[in-house]
Amino acid sequence: MGGAVKPGLAAAVSNAGGLGNLPLWSADREVVQKTVRAMRAATSKPFAVNLNMEFPQEERLGVCLDEGVPVISFFWKDPCALIQKAKDGGAIIMHTVGDVEAAKRSVDAGVDIIDAQGLGKR
């Protein structure tokens, strides 16, 4: 749902037993910090921040780790350069992949959760 997801909706998902996920891949540092803090105020349950690898994510990842985000969800492209930093920061790492090879590379790089998406063969 991309930019339609705000802390209220993501917190409702987490509070209901799912994993609320905040798409903050284009937000500036202050917005990331403010949004994560709003999420923390709305839930004590685990949640994720989605970082789309189509864009540079080093600074956003740093803010997320400073704020104690429990799950980092990488999306698109190869997140391998950021996985160890995220793990060292205490986060669980999720990566959305579109094929088996990407899943294997992600697992080999230390990803904890594979989110598989794709159309499959027709």
pLDDT per residue over 53-70, tens digit each? 999 999 999 999 999 999
Residue 2 has pLDDT above 80, yes or no: no
Domain membership of residue 122 (yes or no) is no
Domain membership of residue 75 (yes or no) is yes
Compute the chain's Rg from CA coordinates.
14
The enclosing domain of 49 has a CATH number of 3.20.20.70
Domain range for 52 is: 2-116
pLDDT tens figures, 35-44: 999 999 999 9
How buried is 94 (Cβ within 10 angstroms: 0-12 exposed, 13-18 middle, 19+ buried)?
buried
The residue behind tokens 């429990």 is 70
**How many domains would you assign to the chain?**
1
Secondary structure element (H or E) that encloses residue 47, with its range: strand 47-52
Domain membership of residue 17 (yes or no) is yes
- Model pTM above 0.75: yes
Domain membership of residue 32 (yes or no) is yes
pLDDT tens figures, 75-104: 989 999 999 999 999 999 999 999 999 999
Domain membership of residue 121 (yes or no) is no
